[in-house]
Amino acid sequence: MTDLVNQARSKLAEADSAYAKMDYASAVQTLLAAHQTAEQAAQQGPTQTTTTGQTTAQPPAAPESAILYLVVGVVVGLVVGIAVAMFLKRTQKSK
């Protein structure tokens, strides 16, 4: 499970980097991949192996809807960015 969580975090970092570079399509694809990886980790259950080899239950780290909010935020940012670009383009043409 820890490997899956680390993979999901890595993919989120990749998505953040792609979003910062304005590569929104790649960012959304990477976010969806991170979401799938996080779901796999959640299905395995929140457990942790102690140094003595015993497995103990862990509380969930974050609600599953957090990734949904992240995806919605990226999409809203994309729509707002396109709207602002179109507005600026029209104002330049009218000058």
Residue with more model confidence, 49 or 18: 18
**pLDDT in the model for residue 44:** 81
> Per-residue pLDDT tens for 41-89?
888 865 555 566 665 555 555 566 778 888 899 999 999 999 999 999 9
Distance separating alpha carbons of residues 47 and 57, to the nearest angstrom: 5
Domain boundaries, the chain: 2-93
Distance separating alpha carbons of residues 6 and 84, to the nearest angstrom: 36
Instruction: Tell me how far CA of residue 79 lies from CA of 33, 38, 53, 70, in angstroms.
Output: 21, 26, 50, 14
Residue 50 per-residue DSSP state = -
Say if CB 47 and CB 73 are below 8 A apart.
Answer: no
